[in-house]
Amino acid sequence: MPENERAPRAVDTHCAYCALQCGTRLTHDPAGRVSAQPLPDFPVNLGGLCQKGWTAPALLTVPDRLRAPLVRGPGGTLAPATWDDALDLVAARLTRLRAEHGPDSVAVFGGGGLTNEKAYALGKFARVALGTSQIDYNGRFCMSSAAAAGNAAFGLDRGLPFPVSDLGAADVVLLAGANPAETMPPIMRHLTAPRLIVVDPRRTRTAAQAALHLQPVPGTDLALALGLLHLAVTEGHLDRAYLDARTTGFEAAWQRAAAWWPERVEGVTGVPAADQRAAVRMLAEADRAYVLTGRGAEQHSKGTDTVSAFVNLSLALGLPGRPGNGYGCLTGQGNGQGGREHGQKADQLPGYRMIDDPAARAHVAGVWGVDPASLPGPGRAAYQLLDALGTEGGPRALLVLGSNPVVSAPRAAHVARRLAALDLLVVADFVPSETTELADVVLPVAQWAEEEGTMTSLEGRVLRRRPVLAPPRGVRTDLQVLNGLAVRLGQPAERFPTEPRAVFDELRRASSGGRADYAGISWERLDAGEALYWPCPEVPGGGHPGTPRMFLDRFAHADGLARFRAVDHREAAEAPGAGRPLYATTGRVPAQYQSGAQTRRVPELLAAAPETHVEVHPDTAARHGLREGGLARVTSARGSTVARVRLVPGLRADTVFLPFHFPGEGRANLLTGDALDPVSGMPEFKLSAVSIEPLRERTT
């Protein structure tokens, strides 16, 4: 058949972006164009896609696609190199640094968008080929507080321990710090029937659809959650039978919440006592109710406690583990769930095993064919790792896969300086980014529609990613990159397979018996159309159905009981005051994603959201001399951001909002600080004390 008469090639796969992992059909036509259509029967997106999903194929043909390795030469510029030269250089310098300064002088920083296979291989590469404890990933900045709270309460962390589709049958859903109408729009197809309670200092598109909008002072969500638990107790809404049969620790949690009567909560949070009572009544009187948390509750120096307080509320009302009810976390990144299960986190091994557990180390080392004693212990969490780069006793080399910390990390200017201080920075990516601009070596790798693998959605469902075309000539997969480096570092080639299916089969063995058990999941079962949610252990005869709904009979603690966690409100790391009178909070906009390195290259998305903006209440704008469409300088103790002013009457007058997707002087994370949650390591992205002033337009 002539080339121009070939039938279009079509594959069913999943979206390039968020953790919904919407079902998508990609079609590659004879002219070389790739288009995306939603799968009408995939239960998460139900035939819908957001603007990013529809335009995702544009990523495959961006003009500045990386197609050859780049090495920084004596003159300081990046120049093309062969793969052998680039990998030889990286391996030689890593070998020298390890010999001179020890294995922890080299570090790895991964991403929540990597496939399960790549996340697993990266963790193995760090611990075996490099021997370093210094590995973490950008998922630490997204859902680590909910993970810590979920593990403490339930003995297991899965973003949603039930299918997304269950939400559509709910009567009431409380969304604490989540704005899915803008961050993951297709999920709203499941949230049209329930009455929504939205906790957010902004009147977002989600809040605009709510039956009740609670608008607390930034940084006071924990006090609000304590107050809601107080009302659940004092107004007679406790599910006593559930508490007695399925939980422990209620009394200690209640002792903390007892001090948070409605009027005190109103004084701290600004949320009227009547609205607090209405929220608890709506949840308690519903036959089917869910409590969901998002980044707004998590990204604080007390994020774990805040999420725990909302978990406590859900337990007091008897929701988790009851059919048609529950608690869940709206995980953000595409593989944020799977990425944290299989070894990218500083303290974890595959299968959600903890790296300081001797039995876990023995099991995983046996799969890897190494001595358990050779595995390093826990390393630094993400921000501490970035903060230590290039310092005395800190890592002197960093390998980055699937992340752009120059834009996405807190205290971004400081992190850029730390990256610049390294002896060696290696970045694997498929497009240039603000982080590749600092790299000594850039390695071009395949992207979403060019690779095989699996992803795990926010509901714990393992999904097949399928390629619609091959990577461009000169581009390698991340697995090939890790294999090439591992061999040069003295590892046997077979220890680091380059075929994703072989890596997944090894992942299954490594996860077997762990909390995130994938042993019963195979590519064959996924390709046959089975919907498989972990845990899915291997059972005699095979065919374990997976676990779409968790905790129906017991929770994952040894005694089967969920645990209340006694928490109390405390102030944020900084508060507005003289000179910096406003709260600044950060978040997403519908047309951009994460650091924007991908979406800012899609013309339709860039046209929809071309630059940083700052949302300001009109009264606040008048006090500070700001006008709609004008430029403003927003300044914190860390630095300043320049943004275009938008007047938003639904915003609190004491708060400004900036999206974090943009580079240069528009980086919202130039404002954010290094206050960290002591349990999860989560930075306080959602609160900075700032000033704001008009800025004269530049003229040319």
DSSP, collapsed to helix, strand or coil, labels residue 515 as coil
Q: What is the CATH number of the domain that holds 588?
A: 2.40.40.20
* Residue that is written with structure tokens 């929540």 in the block: 112
For the chain, what is the domain count?
A: 4
Res 332: pLDDT: 81
CB 125 within 8 A of CB 484: no
342 with 408, same domain?
A: yes
Res 4: pLDDT: 41
Q: How confident is the model at residue 2 (pLDDT cuts 50, 70, 90)?
A: very low
Domain end: 306, 330, 354, which one? 330
CB 95 within 8 A of CB 131: no
320 with 369, same domain?
A: no
302 with 358, same domain?
A: no
Per-residue pLDDT tens over the stretch 495-526: 999 999 999 999 999 999 999 999 999 999 99
Domain end: 287, 306, 330, which one? 330
> Six-digit token pair at 301?
């120096």
Residue 26 lies in a domain: yes
Q: Across residues 173-198, what is the average pLDDT? A: 97
453 with 488, same domain?
A: yes
Residue 171 lies in a domain: yes
Calculate Rg over the CA atoms of the chain.
Answer: 24
Q: Please report the sign of the dihedral spanned by the C-alpha atoms of residue 454, residue 459, residue 461, residue 466.
A: negative
Task: Find how far residue 390's CA is from the centre of its chain.
Answer: 26
Per-residue pLDDT tens over the stretch 392-431: 999 999 999 999 999 999 999 999 999 999 999 999 999 9
CB 57 within 8 A of CB 35: yes
Average of per-residue pLDDT values in the chain: 96
pLDDT of 3 > 50? The answer is no
DSSP, collapsed to helix, strand or coil, labels residue 20 as coil
505 with 421, same domain?
A: yes
124 with 170, same domain?
A: no
Let me know how many helices (H) and strands (E) the chain has, helices first: 23, 28
349 with 426, same domain?
A: yes
Residue 667 lies in a domain: yes
DSSP 580: B
- Lowest-confidence region among 37-51, 258-272, 324-338, 676-690: 324-338
Edge-first strand order for the sheet with 532-533 is: 453-456, 461-465, 532-533
Q: Across residues 190-195, what is the average pLDDT? A: 97
- Who contacts 685 (Cβ-Cβ below 8 Å, separation ≥6)? 141, 295, 299, 410, 586, 660, 669, 672
**Residue ranges making up the domain that contains 120:** 73-141+335-533
Res 105: pLDDT: 98
Per-residue pLDDT tens over the stretch 421-459: 999 999 999 999 999 999 999 999 999 999 999 999 999
Domain end: 330, 356, 379, which one? 330
Helices (H), 126-235: 144-154, 180-183, 205-208, 221-234
HSE-up (13 A, CA, CB side) for residue 408: 25
Concatenated DSSP letters of 254-310: HHHHTT--HHHHHHHH---HHHHHHHHHHHHH-SSEEEEE-HHHHSSTTHHHHHHHH
pLDDT of 40 > 70? The answer is yes
311 with 367, same domain?
A: no
Q: Which of the pair, 306 or 698, is modelled with greater confidence? A: 306
The C-alpha atoms of residue 298 and residue 309 are separated, in whole angstroms, by: 11
159 with 275, same domain?
A: yes
Using alpha carbons, select from 279, 198, 270 the residue that is nearest to residue 231: 279
Q: What is the CATH number of the domain that holds 314?
A: 3.40.228.10
Task: Find how far residue 464's CA is from the centre of its chain.
Answer: 20
398 with 473, same domain?
A: yes
202 with 343, same domain?
A: no
pTM to 2 decimal places: 0.96
pLDDT of 43 > 80? The answer is yes
CB 361 within 8 A of CB 510: no
CB 351 within 8 A of CB 510: yes
406 with 492, same domain?
A: yes
DSSP, collapsed to helix, strand or coil, labels residue 642 as strand
Residue 66 lies in a domain: no
